Amino acid sequence: MFDILGPITVGPSSSHTAGAIRIGLACRIILGEEVKKARVIFYGSFADTYRGHGTDKAVIGGLLGFNTDNVKVRESLQLAQFRGMEYVIDTAEEPRYHPNTVRIEAQGATRSINLRGISVGGGAMRLVELNGFAIDAACLYDTLIVFHKDTPGTLAGIAQTLSGSGYNIGNLRLSRDKREGDVITIIETDVPVDGETVAALRQVGSVAGVVSIPKF
């Protein structure tokens, strides 16, 4: 309902501003720490019109942790400098990508990630690539991103831990990298998963990390 009557967002464009804020914010959440350095690359229509739509302010605002209804997005470029976050904005061409695509290379004190997101209209977005893995997360439900190895029992362990704590898995998708045996599993749940369960998931088998993204 609040995707039709909403989102509540700074203007001017649901796709070029609101969706972009959400991709930036998702990136900040997945990184799990303050962004120290970011390279933002716009493609397609994002590349053509990002200045007029404030798409740069939107993504940087998201990376600073602002949601769509936060007026601070307007001053995000100055706030980033103030907070010591370095960023560069680039544009590139890749005809195969969705017209509203942004890639973010974000670096924190201890980690870095590479995320590609697309803004699909009305403020909705999808994360389509994470650290080279093809993924698909729209964040319309409470979402867990689990990084683990392709070892027997890990997925079963994740599912058991969740169901043991009473969570219902609405959707589960995994992307595998055959060579290294790395896996990213995306799980959508009906309600947000509590911190204790997230901590328990981190102890399962070959799990290397768990990120919980609240639904937008």
> Interface with another protein by CB under 8 A: which residues?
1-18, 45, 48-49, 51-54, 57, 69, 71, 73-74, 99, 120-123, 190-191
Widest distance between CA atoms in the chain: 50
HEC sequence for 34-56: CCCEEEEEEEHHHHHHHHHHCHH
In the bound state with another protein, the residue whose beta carbon lies nearer, of 182 and 188, is: 188
Nearest approach, Cβ of residue 8 and another protein (Å): 5
Nearest approach, Cβ of residue 98 and another protein (Å): 10
Q: CA 11 → CA 54, 63, 103, 104, distances in Å? A: 9, 18, 21, 22
CB of 32 within 8 A of CB of 212? no
In the bound state with another protein, the residue whose beta carbon lies nearer, of 57 and 116, is: 57
**Nearest by Cα to 58 from 138, 117, 5:** 117
What size, in residues, is the chain?
216
> Strand, coil or helix: what is 132?
coil
Nearest approach, Cβ of residue 17 and another protein (Å): 7
In the bound state with another protein, the residue whose beta carbon lies nearer, of 21 and 183, is: 21
In the bound state with another protein, the residue whose beta carbon lies nearer, of 74 and 149, is: 74
Nearest approach, Cβ of residue 124 and another protein (Å): 9
